[in-house]
Structure 1
């Protein structure tokens, strides 16, 4: 039996990558359960010590020394006592399984001195039959307990990754959900966290943001996202050495997942261009990042403490003529030439929207020589123009 259990420990540690200490703790619990079933008594608080080096088993009954309990009173006196006790704080009840009265302890060990709270370990005999009976029972309990332990360890591992970016492999679609394998756990990508138009084909690898991890009776429930801004930030850190080293700092990000994003970068180093370092030679770095986000368009702009310069940069690639800031109401009044209006607004008004989100200012765009146009009207006007362009005149019959 001893050799079999020792071999089982080594096998479990190697196959399931579980610390040996955890396996031994589970084994001792299993052996205590086996002893209790066949040789234990009702009020015994059993603990087993197993020595993996020798395979020897020791069984103990653990008790904590408690005060002597009052003997039962006659009915009338008991009624009075109960009435008085209801007005006082209820004391902790005596548990004969885990506690022993101090007078009883002194009877069992007359040569020892005890005080309240002392622990008494009484070694119990281990019958020769226990070895044969324990082997099968212990194995069954070990397997069950190890499943629970493995589940808990997996949950703790993923809970620690909550709020971080990881790599996963698409398994399959299940209705609107996409099932993704992350470290041998099936994570869920709900439809509202998917990038529109992105193909999640089986076997493809993507970067995912872990939104939430919840415990279940089996493996943890892991909810992931492809839309979270942290994915873009993570890619900047992994693809741009100047960002990972801290030479270039990402100040702010505004993003419409899968379509377009604006990233404001900053450096305190005089001889370093933060925008050029982020884009890379011939745009290779930013193209690599975009490829990991369904070819999302990424505008890298230089962050400025001067708000006027920052707002102007945020509207790039459009060039503006003038800019006035209403810092109290967080409004930026911008003038641009006619040929720059479409660039400033962007398709579906996205350039203007992202610039506002990035700077924290509502941008009121005005064409030179015309009245100002609020952001909402600008977007509506551009959508209308695009719609009119697409509508063809009816052909005569």
Structure 2
């Protein structure tokens, strides 16, 4: 396999999305929920103790339909993760992707006692309901209450535009000046807009559609890429990207923040899981511009305050003076307004949000919210470390006794 046929695993799509409308340029488009993280809290010590015991028992046996594995929570960025313990759940099939990640044991006060990270792209609405029912049967009625109390901490909505490339347009995000380009070896170009931890950010990057194939069809290799001067471990697939349909993913990342007075963990939640269907339009802040804008901006910089003389000193004075009177800024604003395009009808796209919600199933779609009383808010969400210590062998005990002799 040639080197140019190695492609970063993140740029290959195996899970199908729902078709929606076409873009105003005639591109086929698809929409889905790519990530859903929720957090909930326990309302009594008894409830917490019983629920955690049942959680810990899940990986102790084999199940017919699911595989449950212990997995310590870690952040990809290397920062401290808010939870101590975790369980990864996948279907009992070869090379099955993770469906849900259950976490508990918060490290800091104000953090909810239980969290779930869902990956709905790997499930239909019916399969999501089956998973939630399976968990409810094994974790007890507390699980249903935890869902009703849950609030959303992260939601990724993926809009796929087929036949469109990142370089076809220039991109922006209203009320944000932060951006980062991605162009790693053996990957497709990408652009991040907005701060990573802000309420709304966007990741725009190329992918290829391999949904007609299974992951195991393509051999996988581990390797490293350079990011911010550091080596980062990635995984690559032996796949010819020219043999598969290409699309541009516009991924809106929503991270609702709690609002109102009070200390951390006690403020009003910005988005309850039960209110997810009422989510406000996230695509409104996305800006798209014609590619020719780049040349017009360069030309505007070059011709701004251009001196009408053959003397080089006049050019030196212009460079020192910079944007005199804000003329360049005004010219830029006019060019931006003139070159902004409507790649797709944002309201038309958002009218398909109920279809995305249907992929979360009836259990989540029919939730009724539960709110804590003052007494319930005072319940600690911390859990004790119940992991059993390994018993010392006779040899280890004998060695300790020998070392302790004078």
TM-score interval, smaller chain: under 0.3
Q: Which has the higher helix share?
A: 1
TM-score by length of 1: 0.19
- Which structure has the greater CA radius of gyration? 1
